[in-house]
């Protein structure tokens, strides 16, 4: 075994140690040891690329909103509104506003905000947080769902429209979904409470770039990244109200 890449030498060393250990202690032939070590490393890389539980829950929440929009406006509208690019500023870009979807499995609506700009509205476009609350449940629980089943049900609603199916698949890939990882996404959930729609305004807890400037002055430019959690329990409008329906319908 050999490598000519200086960047890979550290990793190659670890791989070679694994091969030697298999031959000396595991009773493998040299070829079998290489094959086994390669298989183990492949499985490790595969597992590392699987969506975390938090990201699975977040994606289910986005798909729930996607299907609500599809039911109200059709799948063309819904898919076009969802993650138009891999670097889209917000989860959904609707006709007159933007929506950031947040989903939690805790007993309060506590959500993680991943950047200083995430709750910064675009000019002349209102921004809303759509807060979902799920709870882990047995697979046989009534109305339970998993990430795998939600993706499957979404494809079923697209029926035989190959163009829409391909567009939907591309959006899924953008947010980290891989079809060959479906087996990892079987954890079931049920809705803990109705969704809530929270306007991102002066009553919404958030940190903005201007707040950092006002509080820190010129030092604020040295803040490289910001991550924080907010509690939006009891804020905004519950699913089923007229105010909620004006945006998500």
The pLDDT value recorded for residue 83 is 82
Q: Are the beta carbons of 19 and 12 closer than 8 angstroms?
A: no
| pLDDT digits (tens), the chain, 249 positions | 888 887 778 778 888 888 998 998 888 999 999 998 888 777 666 656 889 899 999 999 999 999 999 999 999 999 999 987 766 789 999 999 999 999 999 999 999 999 999 999 999 999 999 999 999 999 889 999 999 999 999 999 997 889 999 999 999 988 889 888 898 899 999 999 999 999 999 999 999 999 999 999 999 999 989 999 999 999 999 999 999 999 987
For 88, residues 6+ apart whose C-beta sits below 8 A from its C-beta are none
Structure tokens given for 223? 């803040």
- Give the pLDDT score at 139: 85
What's the pTM?
0.80
* CA angle 99–62–92, rounded 5-degree value: 30
Which pLDDT value is given to residue 127? 97
Taking alpha carbons only, the member of 146, 149, 130 closest to residue 138 is 146
| In the chain, alpha helices (H) | 9-25, 30-48, 53-73, 75-81, 147-157, 162-174, 209-216, 242-247
Q: Where are the domains of the chain?
A: 6-48, 53-247
DSSP 99: E
Helix/strand/coil for 105: coil
- Looking at residue 48, what is its pLDDT? 60
Q: Which of 205, 239, 208 is nearest to 131 (CA)?
A: 239
Is 51 strand, coil or helix? coil
Non-local CB neighbours of 53 within 8 Å, separated by 6+ positions: 187
pLDDT of residue 21: 87
DSSP H stretches of helix in 112-229: 147-157, 162-174, 209-216
Q: Using the Cα atoms of residue 8, residue 11, residue 17 and residue 19 in order, give the sign of their dihedral.
A: negative
User: CA angle, corner 135, sides to 192 and 175, nearest 5?
Assistant: 105
Residues whose CB falls within 8 Å of the CB of residue 248, separated by 6 or more in sequence, listed in order: 65, 68, 69, 72, 99, 130, 197, 239
């Amino acid at each position: 075994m050999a490598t000519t890449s200086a960047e890979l030498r550290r990793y190659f060393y670890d791989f070679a140690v694994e091969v030697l250990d298999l031959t000396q202690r595991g009773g493998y032939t040299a070829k079998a040891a290489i094959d086994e070590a390669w298989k183990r490393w492949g499985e490790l890389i595969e597992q590392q690329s699987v969506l975390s539980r938090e990201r699975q829950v977040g994606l289910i929440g986005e798909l729930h909103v996607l299907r609500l929009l599809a039911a109200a406006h059709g799948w063309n509208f819904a898919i076009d509104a969802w993650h138009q690019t891999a670097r889209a500023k917000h989860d959904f870009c609707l006709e007159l506003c933007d929506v950031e979807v947040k989903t939690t499995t805790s007993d309060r609506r506590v959500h993680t905000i991943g950047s200083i700009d995430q709750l910064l509205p675009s000019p002349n476009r209102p921004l809303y947080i759509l807060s979902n609350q799920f709870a882990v449940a047995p697979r046989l629980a009534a109305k339970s769902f998993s990430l795998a089943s939600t993706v499957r049900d979404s494809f079923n609603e697209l029926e035989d429209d190959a163009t829409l199916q391909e567009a939907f698949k591309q959006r899924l890939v953008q947010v980290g979904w891989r079809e060959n990882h479906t087996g990892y996404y079987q954890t079931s959930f049920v809705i803990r409470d109705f969704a809530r729609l929270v306007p991102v305004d002066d009553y919404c807890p958030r940190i903005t770039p201007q707040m950092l400037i006002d509080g820190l002055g010129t030092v604020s430019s040295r803040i490289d990244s910001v991550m924080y959690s907010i509690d939006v329990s009891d804020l905004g409008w519950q699913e089923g109200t007229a105010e909620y329906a004006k945006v998500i319908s």
